[in-house]
Amino acid sequence: MRRPVPALEKQWTVLDLIRWGSDYFREKDIDSPRLTVELMLCSVLECSRVQLYTDFERPLGKDELAALKAMIQRRVRHEPLQYIVGKADFYGLLFTVAPDVLIPRPETEFLVQRAIRILADTDGARCLDIGTGSGCIPVAIAVHAKTSHWLAVDVSPGAVRIARENAREHGMEDRVDVEVMDVLDAWPEGRFHLVTMNPPYIPVSEIPTLQEEVRDYEPHIALTDDADGLTFFRRCIDMMKRTLEPGGHMLVEVMAGQADIVADLAREAGMTVEVIDDLAGIPRIVSGTMV
């Protein structure tokens, strides 16, 4: 049975909308239907999920219902939930996101986790994040590696604006400096103890095969190099010879099938290499240490 989007004239409580929304999104084949409607309600009502659960009988006003209805209509067109609510969870932190930036992925948390371990015994490390997007990588690391200082660069002014906002929201604006830079044409000055990178690594030939949420909504420039997916690895890893201090570290995220190629590039640049698998057993992070 086709369910109409909630009418503004009827009084709807939080519980009514959770039940209705769960069924509606399930019928529309939307992933995590109950979680989706709960997060939308949290955004509209500006509350946590715990608060939502303690206020099931709260009625929504017409403006709140209208805002929720607009969110529902966007989601059934396969716009990512994170863009709709403007937030994404990453490494236990909440980050502002928008269509200017890639949505943070759980697999990238492996890179953050390894970086925090690397920096644990280093005081005042100078670090670089290439293609920072939302800034989730340097900000999450800086929150835990409390003496590290970061330069985060991205070619997109919109991404830089969002990354700066995220640094401010987490109190890291003094330790995470975000700048506009195209690393294919320019390069940061000086040497760094740690360089992190999650570049546009999807081959352009694979873009049509991606899920609608990714292909049609996430920034093309953050997904692919419009070539074989290896452009940034070739350029940036070659630059590590003049970028990493002796004993310095590089951590880069790769897609399935790229780890061996990227590891070879790192060895050619003078690094010892370790490849780290994600929870699915896919080689996901290439870690290099400059000899």
Binding positions for S-adenosyl-L-methionine: 131-135, 154, 198
**E-strand stretches of 83-138:** 87-90, 93-96, 126-130
| CA dihedral of 172, 174, 176, 180, whole degrees rounded to 10 | 130
User: Which strands form 126-130's sheet, in the order they lie side by side?
Assistant: 176-180, 149-154, 126-130, 192-197, 244-253, 283-290, 271-277
Backbone angles phi, psi at 60, to 5 degrees: -95, 140
Instruction: Please tell me what DSSP assigns to residue 179.
Output: E
- Of 126, 169, 133, nearest to 151 by C-alpha is 126
Amino acid at residue number 65 = L
Residue ranges of the binding site: 131-135, 154, 198-201
128 Cβ neighbours under 8 A, 6+ residues apart:
150, 151, 152, 153, 188, 192, 194, 195, 196, 243
Surface-to-core class of residue 126, CB atoms within 10 Å of its CB (0-12 exposed, 13-18 middle, 19+ buried): middle
- Of 118, 108, 176, nearest to 143 by C-alpha is 176
> What is the Rg, in whole angstroms, of the alpha carbon atoms belonging to the chain?
21
Residue ranges of the binding site for substrate: 198-201
Cβ neighbours, 10 Å, residue 29? 9
